[in-house]
Structure formats: structure tokens, C-alpha cells
Structure 1
Amino acid sequence: MSEQIFNKINTLLSQNDAKFKVIDHEPANTSEAVAKARGTIMGQGAKALVCVIKGIDPKNLAASQNEKPDQTSSNSLLKSSKHYVLAVLPADYKANLEAITHEFHGTKTSLASPAEASELTDCVIGSVPPFSFHDRLELIVDSKLFERFEEIAFNAGLLDRSIVLNAKDYERIVKPRLINFATA
């Protein structure tokens, strides 16, 4: 299941001349444990959380994506009553879900269920990389991810395989929507 995601990431990074390395390691259950297994600092970790935002007015969502409200019927991000985001932040920070709710003018943001996360990422919780390959999963990144370290590290679709990637290459390739939602 997630081997496919690893291969997509590896291909994407290679095709875009990114500076990265693959690290095989023992599976780990926490950000701290996986950082130790990788030989990286916990703050380098790019934690990826699948979140669901409820109560968004489609006009606000269309405006935030630089679209006209009448385009909402053709945009798959707007077709469901829930809006999903892949929220990426440094592993040593916590996600302020209220900040995400506020940014999207929604009524509530919560973590997606394991089943929703699996459907949208093709990964189990804990192995979700900071890349979205699903048209219903918008990528948002907290700018703090780019402020402290030259490299980021993340599980690459598998619990026992990580990638350490140049942070500027990541930002250049994925062109994320930057939102401040991480708190210490």
C-alpha cells in the first residue's frame, strides 16, 4: 500500500533534482523515537496530520484558492461538505486546529479518522509524508518548518523508511499554502 507512495515521492524528488537521502530504520511510534532512529533532530521532522475542516462557506474556500465562486461545482475540493487538509509542521510543535479553522473561515477542525486518513493518503497514521497526491487533500505547511533547519525528515509512506530532504527543495517542489498554525 505505502510502497507506492514512497515510489511516487522518490520519483518526484529525483525528477526535480532535489537533494535527499533515504534512510531505512526500525519502525517507531513517536516523533522523538523516529528522529533518534534516523539520526536527526526532532525539530527537523515534518509531521503530517490529515485534518478535516467543517462549516466552510464554499465562497470563502473558492476565494482562498483564487477561484470564482461559480467554479465551485467543478472543483473536487469543494464538492464535499468536509474540506480535508494535510497540515505539515515541525515534529516538536503542536497543531493549533483553531488557527486552521480561522484561516479557512470554518466552524471546526479536527483530525481525520484513521479510515479517512488512509483513504486520502494511502498510508497508515504515523507514516503519512508531507506530500498530497489526492485531489481532495489540500497541502498546508506552517512556515516554521523552513525557519530552523536546512533539511527536513519524514516517514515516506512507510513506518520503517524515511527521507531527509533539503527544506528549500521541498518548498520549491510542493509550493505549499503557508499558514501559521504550529505552537510550541
Structure 2
Amino acid sequence: MEVYENIKNILNKLGIPFDEMEHPPVKTCDDSAKYRGEHGWKGIGSKNILFHAKAKFYLVVTTAEKEIKARRFKREFGTKNIRFATPDEVKEITGCEIGALPPFGYLNKMLPIYVDEDIFQHEHFMFNPAIHTKSIRIKTEDLKKIYISIDQPVKFFLIREGKTEFMDAKSVS
């Protein structure tokens, strides 16, 4: 519940309008999309993956329909050995369960966040705010404001023609 409250505090502190809905418990992007669609919500859904590499964890935020390959992050994370975090590691590092990882709002300020630039090609962004029974929708331009303002390491990434480019969020306007 702490992460959920932190998300709402961030949104309110930055004056970001948001929509919130309750729905039956969801564990997958497809289930979330189903309920959001039934309520007439339009936008891109969030997929948030916690990776483990070299005794560190990294959160990768992308669109719900995209498949993320760990190999794209080998050079950036400084290792060839990258794996998905276990459910226990996800809970310990983020305070959340798999299927409810939000794109921001973590109390662990040392957790680096990598955000897919393709998200910003859509008008609205939808995500579970650390709770399986809730969804939040914000404008993607507001999501960028959040990433620029939070006190946490954030990088944007862009995948084009098989290459991945990384940019510090604070240097992107």
C-alpha cells in the first residue's frame, strides 16, 4: 500500500490529473487491457519488468504488447548475465507483487528505471499502481514530467533498426 500512496502523492504533488478505476484482480497485461477496454479507456498499457544483473536490479518500463529481450541491456548493465527477478526478489526490492509493478513510485530510490521511448508515441498511459485491483491512466506527456522530476536514476531507451540507444531522462525535454 505504501507504493500506491507514494504514486498518488507524486501525481498530486506535480498537479498531474489522473483517472483511477477498480476492477477484479489482474495478473497479466492482457487481463488489465480487457477491463480497461470494458470501461472505455484508451491508451497504451504498461509492462514493467524487474531484471537482475551483477548483484543489482533494474526496472524496465515498456508497452504491454512489446517483448523485451534482456540481451538489449547487456552493455548498459555491464554484464552478459541478466535474468528476470524472482517473485521473492520483486517483493523484496519493490514492495510489490509480479503483475502489479508500477512504472514509478518506488520507495527504493536506488532502483534504476529504464523507460521505452515508444510509450510517448501514445496519448495516454495506463498501469496498475502496485495493486492488482486498480488501474491508473495519465497522459504520456505527464509521465515524462514524472520521470524528469523523481529523485531516482531514470534513462529512456529507443530501439531502432536492431540497435538500442540510452539517454538520461534529465537531459531529455
| Same topology, TM > 0.5 | yes
- Is residue 141 of structure 1 aligned with residue 115 of structure 2? yes
* Residue of structure 2 equivalent to 1:127: 100
Matched, 1:178 2:156: yes
Shift of 1:120: 1.2
Kindly indicate whether structure 1 or structure 2 has the higher relative contact order, using CA contacts under 8 Å at least 6 residues apart. Answer: 1
1:52 counterpart = 2:52: yes
**Structure-1 separation of matches of 2:75 and 2:158:** 11
The one-letter code matched in structure 1 to 2:155 is R
CA distance in 2 between partners of 1:23 and 1:100 (Å): 34
CA drift of 1:124 comes to 0.7
Among all aligned residue pairs of Structure 1 and Structure 2, give the percentage whose two residues are the same amino acid: 27
Contact kept in structure 2, 1:96 and 1:181, CA below 8 Å: no
Counterpart of 2:15 (choices 14, 17, 20) is: 17
Task: Give ranges in structure 2 of 5+ residues lacking alignment.
Answer: 149-153, 163-173
* Richer in helix (by share): 1
Unaligned runs of 5+ in 1: 55-81
Q: Which has the larger radius of gyration?
A: 1
CA distance in 2, matches of 1:133, 1:45: 23
SS at match of 1:130: coil
Amino acid at match of 1:173: I
| Residue equivalent to 1:75 | none
Is 1:38 matched up with 2:12?
no
The answer as to whether partners of 2:27 and 2:100 remain within 8 angstroms in 1 is no
The secondary structure found in structure 1 opposite 2:128 is strand
Structure 1 residue 136, shift from structure 2 partner: 3.5
The letter of the residue matching 2:30 is E
Question: How many pairs are equivalent?
Answer: 152
Q: CA deviation at 1:134?
A: 0.8
> Does the residue aligned with 2:27 lie in a helix, a strand or coil?
coil
Give the whole-Å Cα distance in 2 for the aligned partners of 1:169 and 1:143.
Answer: 14
Q: TM-score, normalised by structure 1?
A: 0.76
**Match for residue 7 of structure 1?**
5
Deviation at 1:145, TM superposition (A): 1.2
**Is the Cα contact below 8 Å between 1:127 and 1:157 reproduced in 2?**
yes
Q: Cα distance, 1:105 vs. partner? A: 2.8
Paired position in structure 2 for 1:157: 130
Which position in structure 2 is the counterpart of 1:68?
A: none
Name the aligned partner's letter for residue 177 of structure 1.
Answer: K
Runs of 4+ in 1 over 4 A off after TM superposition: none
> For residue 108 of structure 2, what is the amino acid of its counterpart?
H
Deviation digits for residues 126-165 of structure 1, max 9, x if unmatched?
A: 0110013313311111111111x11100000100011101
For the residues of structure 2 that align with 1:144 and 1:109, how far apart are their CA atoms?
23
